[in-house]
Amino acid sequence: MDIPLRLFTAALPALLSGALALALTGCADGASDAESSPSPSPGDGEGNGGSEEVAAFVRPEDPYAGMDAELSERLHLPVYDYRLDEYEGYVVRRAEDTLTVECLVDLGYEAEVNSALELDPLTMRAFGPQHEYRRYGNTRADIAGEHGFSLPLDDVADPYLLGGDADLREQAHSAVLSSGEGLKTPSGDTVPEGGCIGQARQRIDPDGAPAHETDEEGNSPDTPGSHLLVEELLGESYIVAVEDPAVAGATAAWEACMAGAVDGFHGTPLSGEGSDPEAAVPALECRDSSGYLDAFVAAERAALEGLIAEHEEALTARRDQLRKNLETSLDVLGW
């Protein structure tokens, strides 16, 4: 299923309540009315028989709670339609964790998925499904009022809860990240090529490049949830937009607005780090009243029009593969 964000936001309530759970279900606080059951053991499939079942992640009721559909429409860039959104990427990462842990268990290590790795509701509120709410500086007045220029960030949790002594845990980490050549596993089995994480990614995206491979320039390949070409084009459009005359004019208007609103403010429309948190709301209001936000979005859309046309075939092929990866990931999680 491929739904452009503009259509997706309008149809969201119906989709969430209907059978199209493919793109709109996932992990947050609490289970849906169909209680999440332990994920069907992917290890029971061909090539990894009889793997011990691992604990499941929990399916959320509404992963898009807190999303501002009107703001997302205003900030929408057409290239977003070719990649997974924040929630969908989360689904793929949790499926990858599940398969990685099952691989570790098959090798005889003590491991389980960290079911505390839930999708923080603040992520959708503060960043948006495409991280569009902060691409041009914070665009959410409620977030600016609550948190100023910054956000509380949780420590990155270990996705694999490893047991055993320190040596065994160190061996398990090696089995996750590499082929572990010469590593004697508790089961006596050989670590798969590319490590357990490499095997997990191949299970989700069989047509993807092996995790340990790089291209001729030394770059890593796409993972099952990523679209590196989209990120590259977004980088190009951003650079073009920064130099756009309309954006430059709006920047000057923003600076004039801030000079009258906050004494001694030295930030930019994109950043206010080090400034008084109380300036966050005026900075947002000036960004809007100066026309900065709409000028930047318009400049990026204009730049992306030609870039998308140039790369249409590759963008579409990768988008279609990502939808398959998402479907596989939902199956792995039992959602």
Burial class, 77, CB count within 10 angstroms (exposed 0-12 / middle 13-18 / buried 19+): buried
Q: Torsion angle of alpha carbons 283, 287, 293, 296, nearest 10°?
A: -90
- Residue 9, pLDDT > 60, answer no
Please choose, from the candidates 30, 25, 9, the residue with its C-alpha nearest in 3D space to the C-alpha of residue 81.
Answer: 9
The chain-wide mean pLDDT, for the chain, equals 83
Express each pLDDT in 14-60 by its tens digit.
333 333 333 333 333 333 333 333 334 443 433 333 344 555 788 88
pLDDT of residue 47: 35
| Residue extents of the structural domains in the chain | 5-73+81-333
Query: How are the residues of the chain apportioned to helix, strand and coil, as percentages rounded to the nearest 5?
Result: 55, 5, 45
Please choose, from the candidates 301, 128, 315, the residue with its C-alpha nearest in 3D space to the C-alpha of residue 232.
Answer: 315
- Residue 227, pLDDT > 50, answer yes
Express each pLDDT in 259-313 by its tens digit.
999 888 888 898 875 568 889 999 999 999 999 999 999 999 999 999 999 999 9
